[in-house]
C-alpha cells in the first residue's frame, strides 16, 4: 500500500475499464469510485483527470465520467498512429544493432517462458515492452510516451486479440526472435522490412477481430 491514494484510484479505474467491469459507455461518478477504492473524492478526481488525458474517460461537467466507447474511427486512429511511430522508429532502432538486441533478449526469453506456461497476459505484456524498447531506442521521448499510451489504448480496444491463440503466440514469438537476429546480424533493411510486416499483421488481426 505504498502508492498514493490517487494512484490506487487510477489503477482501479484503469483495470476495471480494461477487464470490462466498467463497460464502454458506462457513466461513473466520483463518489462511486471513491467508495469502491476506499478513498475520498479528491484523489479520484485526480485519477479521472489523468484517464481523460489518456483518452479512456470523457468527463462531462456536473454529470459524470463516461468510459469512452471505442468507435471504429478511434480504433483506426490508434492503429494508424501506432504504425506511423513504429515505422519511423524502425530504421533508427535498426542502426543500434547488437546493442539493442542485447536489450531485447530478456523480453524474448520472457515471451518464451510465458508461452510455455500458457500465461497469456504475461506474454502480451512482454510483447508490448519489446516493442516499446524498440521505439525508445529511436531516442525521442515524446514519441515514446505517445507510443506507450497507444499500446495501452489498444488493449482496451481489442481485448479479444488479447486472448491470443496459441498459434498466434507462436507466430509472434517467431517474428520477435527474427527481429533480434537481424539486429545482431546488422541487417538493418531486413529489420525494417520485418517490422513493417509484423505491424501489418497486427493491424489485420485487430481489424478482423472487430
Interacting residue ranges for its own copies, rule: CB under 8 A: 42, 45-46, 49-50, 53, 55, 73-74, 76-78, 80-81, 84-85, 88, 139-143, 146, 150
Q: How far is the CB of 196 from its own copies (least distance, A)?
A: 15
Q: 203 is in the binding site of which of DNA, its own copies, none (Cβ under 5 to 8 A by kind)? A: none
Of 62 and 167, CB closest to DNA: 62
Q: Choosing among its own copies, DNA, none, which partner's interface includes residue 40 (Cβ < 5 to 8 Å by kind)?
A: DNA
Q: Which long-range contacts (CB under 8 A, 24 or more apart) does 115-119 make?
A: 115/169, 115/170, 115/173
- Residue 49 beta carbon to DNA: minimum distance, rounded to whole angstroms: 9
Please, what is the minimum distance in Å from the beta carbon of residue 144 to its own copies? 9
Cα–Cα distance, 69 to 98 (Å, whole number): 42
Which residues neighbour 103 within 8 Å (Cβ) at sequence distance 6 or greater? Answer: 133, 137
Cα–Cα dist 29/119, whole Å: 34
Beta carbon of residue 71, minimum distance to its own copies (angstroms, whole number): 10
- The helix/strand/coil state of 64 is strand
Select the binding partner of residue 120 from its own copies, DNA, none (C-beta < 5 to 8 A, by kind).
none
Residues 6+ apart with CB under 8 A from 93: 100, 134, 135, 137, 138, 183, 191
User: Which one of its own copies, DNA, none is in contact with 74 (Cβ closer than 5 to 8 A by kind)?
Assistant: its own copies
Which CB, 4 or 165, lies closer to DNA?
Answer: 4
E-only strand ranges, 27-172: 27-28, 57-60, 64-67
Neighbours of 9 (CB within 10 A): 29
Positions in the binding site for DNA (CB under 7 A) = 4-7, 28-32, 39-43, 45-46, 59, 61-65
Residue 106 Cα to chain centre, angstroms: 18
CB-nearer residue toward its own copies: 74 or 187: 74
Amino acid at each position: 500500500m505504498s502508492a498514493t491514494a490517487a494512484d490506487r484510484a487510477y489503477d482501479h479505474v484503469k483495470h476495471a475499464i480494461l477487464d470490462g467491469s466498467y463497460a464502454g459507455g458506462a457513466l461513473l461518478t466520483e463518489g462511486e469510485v471513491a467508495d469502491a477504492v476506499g478513498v475520498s473524492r479528491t484523489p479520484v478526481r485526480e485519477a479521472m483527470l489523468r484517464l481523460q488525458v489518456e483518452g479512456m474517460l470523457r468527463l462531462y461537467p456536473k454529470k459524470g465520467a463516461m468510459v469512452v466507447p471505442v468507435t471504429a474511427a478511434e480504433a483506426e486512429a490508434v492503429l494508424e498512429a501506432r504504425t506511423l511511430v513504429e515505422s519511423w522508429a524502425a530504421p533508427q532502432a535498426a542502426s543500434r544493432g547488437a546493442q539493442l538486441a542485447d536489450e531485447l533478449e530478456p523480453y524474448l526469453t520472457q515471451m518464451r517462458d510465458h508461452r510455455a506456461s500458457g500465461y497469456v497476459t504475461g506474454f502480451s505484456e512482454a510483447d508490448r515492452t519489446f516493442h516499446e524498447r524498440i521505439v525508445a531506442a529511436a531516442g525521442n521521448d515524446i514519441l515514446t510516451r505517445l507510443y506507450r499510451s497507444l499500446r495501452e489504448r489498444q488493449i482496451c480496444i481489442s481485448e479479444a486479440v488479447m486472448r491470443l491463440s496459441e498459434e498466434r503466440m507462436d507466430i509472434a514469438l517467431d517474428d520477435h526472435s527474427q527481429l533480434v537476429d537481424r539486429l545482431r546480424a546488422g541487417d538493418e533493411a531486413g529489420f525494417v522490412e520485418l517490422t513493417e510486416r509484423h505491424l501489418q499483421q497486427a493491424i489485420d488481426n485487430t481489424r478482423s477481430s472487430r
